[in-house]
Amino acid sequence: LESLSSNLAAQSLEHIHSDEIIMTYGRSKSVENFLLEVGKRRKFQVMVAEASPVYGGHDLAKNLAAAGINTLVISDAAVFALMARVNKVIIGCHAVTANGGLIAPSGSMLMAAAAKHHSTPVFVVTGLYKLTPVYPENHDHFNLFGSPDPIVPFADGGIIEDIDAVNPFFDYVPPNLVNLFITNAGGHPPSYIYRLLTELYDQEDYKLI
């Protein structure tokens, strides 16, 4: 765990090349270190979706710009429109499920689906400690929901009585929308996740009560 960040960042030069346009979503510390490392040696551009209503993308963009990386903050609604210009999508995640899917910040599914439509590769930067033997049979079972106030402020009054506002923290991104996992043990396609599970988990640990 202590060397995780450096191990991930050390692989950045293998995946990001000069003059490429990278798109990412919100703020992931792993992705931030990944981009900062390659920014020391190569010039490239990063489009950062702001990740409403948390707006973690603003903090990431500020840190990248301070390091001299060409950074553009975009609205979440502009992801699909700008995806045609992007060379790679690089995102972080909350967990990696047993089938190679992702539990990622809400909005990641939007970006991954847009990338699939434009045949843009999606890379996920994550440590192996986020790998879980859980299968996503029920997406809502492992989701969390925040207050709807950031989306529909309570100050709006009467409209709240007429709508149901949902503010999920996570999206489930299926493995067919992911091209590569960049882990502290190297790069792996989603189809290889089951092999990593056999190396990291005993069968008795697949179901924990």
pLDDT per residue as tens digits for the range 98-141:
899 999 999 999 999 999 999 999 999 999 999 988 888 777 77
Banded pLDDT at 52 (limits 50, 70, 90): confident
pLDDT at residue 207 greater than cutoff 80: no
**Mapping DSSP to helix (H, G, I), strand (E, B) and coil, where does residue 89 land?**
strand
Average pLDDT of 63-67?
A: 96
pLDDT at 12 over 60: yes
Neighbours of 91 (CB within 10 A): 27
pLDDT at 157: 66
For residue 209, pLDDT beyond 60: no
Rounded Cα distance, 61 and 53, in Å: 16
What proportion of the chain, given as a percentage, has pLDDT over 90?
65
Residues 169, 26: Cα–Cα separation, whole Å = 12
Q: The whole model's pTM is what?
A: 0.88
